[in-house]
Amino acid sequence: MSAHPREVHHVVVPGRHHLLTRFQADYLRGLLAGEAVDEAGAPIAVSSDAVVVWALTSANHTATRRNPFPAHRREAAIEILAHVERIPSLVVPIVDVAPTPRFAEITLKEIAYATAESVVPSPATTIIATSTPAVAELYRARGYRIAPMEREHPDAPRTPWQLLDELMAGSDAWRAEAHPASLDIVDRYGLVAQARQIAADPVLGDEGGLTQTRDYRTYSRSFEDAAERKWAQARPWIVPGRIADLGCATGAMLELAARDPALSESDLIGVEIAPELFAACEHKKSEGAFANPNTFFYRRNILTGRLFPDRSIATTLSFALTHEIYSYGDGMPSLEAFADAIAAHTMPGGVWINSDVCGPADPDRIVRLRMTGGDVTTPARELTGSNDEIAAYLDALPVGSRVAQFAQDFSALSGSPWLYEVRDAQTIELRLADAMEFLETVSYTRNWLSEMHERFCALSWSNWRELVASVGLEIDERSGPWRNDWLVENRFAPAASLRDLDGAPLEWPDTHMLLVARRPLDA
């Protein structure tokens, strides 16, 4: 006897599945037994050989607020639940994609592909089990029936997301409703502490990056292009041994280190926060891009705790990182914690090589910035749309006409006031540090809303000397601040001239620094 055409053969449960609940297990057992109704109240007839397909979304994300647990731990919990509850199940990992109305279609196709088309979901034989209205709508629009699970259930059960939020907030009340399978995995692998540490992280965004508006394709290309120059800058100071590149981006500098015969016995360790960049490192490693087999990558944030045992690292590299720690963290306290962690893990005779932007030596000096084009009184507007659309608008404005826009966006997003006085349509008067903040950032139109978070001139070289001394390291006097003359010739001078209050031209100040700090051999 053939199955009724509306009998369900596949129950698709889309979700991140960080925690499983006792209610989910009971609900799915009842659904497979033919005891459930769809969101319209119609009974759900189920085939005797029906299978639950757990679509494990964001499978390539971990260690973020929205995805604190790695996919393999989530999958393990599902497999345990399926076994003990005798629920026939398949787990299909679904990688994260940018928000799209085609997400349901992508998920269903991935299920078919991952199961070698032994499961091909169709509206006639598949029901979607979800309580999330937005997710339900995506499938409903494709003709699928919805089993509403927690939504409008008379027992008002809490959703897995509500339990996860409770866990990350520090409460243990979630345990009462979590399924034993999740309790087992979470406790065995210490995931509670990991999730709460992520929740308390002052730097990471919900998806694990520093900012949701950054275009990582542009960011990655810039790091790749600059890798050889940066490695040449660092190489004379490298101490062989365990070499850690913090904020390693796509691992380009470690590629160069891995080719160096003198470092063949060294361990090369890359640490990166952003999931997009970490994935690029892992992909490179899988392709054999690193000649040194002792090359490792970790997706961690040094501000949540020390990464390495005390006195275990010979060389720490941080390139274009410390201004981001200052900008996206808690300012100077975050930078002090970072420096303290580096000092603690640096071995006697070991070195911290830090290359980054640097503020002018006399940041509070009042200067005049005279623009070569535009009108400094051009009003700001609220910027919306894609990065491309924002860049197109800004690029159509002469640099002088971006002053008010910069003041508005930088003040709002960096949390630091940017004050100036208008002298005429081409001239503003302001602190030297603020003048350089403007000129060093105003050309980054492609990532404008991301760059507006960042402070390039918060610390001068004297501030760096004080910070390094405070954590017990010693600065190599051959290192220090320097001026990027390419920026002067190609960015600063074409856009504006720097003058004193009498109108006399001023020299452009230092823009960058190379800081080499060592732990003394006897310390």
Share of the chain above pLDDT 70, in %: 93
DSSP string, 476-487: -TT-EEE--HHH
Q: Rounded distance, CA 29 to CA 6, Å?
A: 19
Complete edge-to-edge strand list for the sheet that includes strand 89-93: 89-93, 46-56, 8-15, 126-129, 145-147
Do 8-199 and 216-357 agree at the fold level?
yes
CA-closest candidate to residue 323, choices 443, 447, 203: 203
Question: Encoding tokens for residue 271?
Answer: 């640490």
Region 462-479: mean pLDDT is: 97
Ranges of each domain in the chain: 8-199, 216-357, 366-451
Question: What 3-state DSSP class applies to 320?
Answer: coil
DSSP 512: E
Query: What is the reported pLDDT for 205?
Result: 46
What is the H or E stretch that residue 198 is in?
A: helix 191-199
How is the chain split among helix, strand and coil, in percent rounded to 5?
A: 40, 20, 40
| CATH 3.40.50.150, domain 216-357, yes or no | yes
Residue 55 above 80 pLDDT?
yes
Residue pLDDT, tens place only, 365-392: 999 999 999 999 999 999 999 999 999 9
Query: What is the reported pLDDT for 4?
Result: 41
DSSP string, 1-19: -PPPTT-EEEEEEEE--SS
Query: What is the reported pLDDT for 226?
Result: 84
Q: List, in sequence order, every residue forming a beta bridge with 499; answer none if it has no partner.
A: 368, 505
Residue pLDDT, tens place only, 396-454: 999 999 999 999 999 999 999 999 999 999 999 999 999 999 999 999 998 899 899 99
Between residues 10 and 66, the one the model is more confident about: 10
Residue pLDDT, tens place only, 188-224: 999 998 888 777 654 444 444 444 444 445 555 666 7
Between residues 99 and 178, the one the model is more confident about: 178
What is the H or E stretch that residue 469 is in?
A: helix 461-470
Q: List, in sequence order, every residue forming a beta bridge with 357; answer none if it has no partner.
A: 512
Minimum mean pLDDT among 74-88, 264-278, 460-474: which range? 264-278
Q: Which residues are CB-contacts of 404 (< 8 A; sequence separation ≥ 6)?
A: 376, 377, 378, 379, 380
E runs forming strands in 217-287 = 242-246, 267-271
174 alpha carbon, distance to own chain's centre: 27
C-alpha angle 217-104-56 in degrees, rounded to nearest 5:
75
> For residues 194 and 68, is the Cβ–Cβ distance under 8 A?
yes
Residue pLDDT, tens place only, 227-283: 999 999 999 999 999 999 999 999 999 999 999 999 999 999 999 888 888 889 999
Query: What is the reported pLDDT for 220?
Result: 56
Which whole-number Å values give the CA distances from 473 to 249, 312, 347, 464, in the listed order? 26, 15, 11, 11
Residue pLDDT, tens place only, 472-516: 999 999 999 999 999 999 999 999 999 999 999 999 999 999 999
Question: What 3-state DSSP class applies to 254?
Answer: helix
Say which CATH architecture domain 8-199 belongs to.
3-Layer(aba) Sandwich (3.40)
Which whole-number Å values give the CA distances from 278 to 129, 214, 274, in the listed order? 33, 15, 6
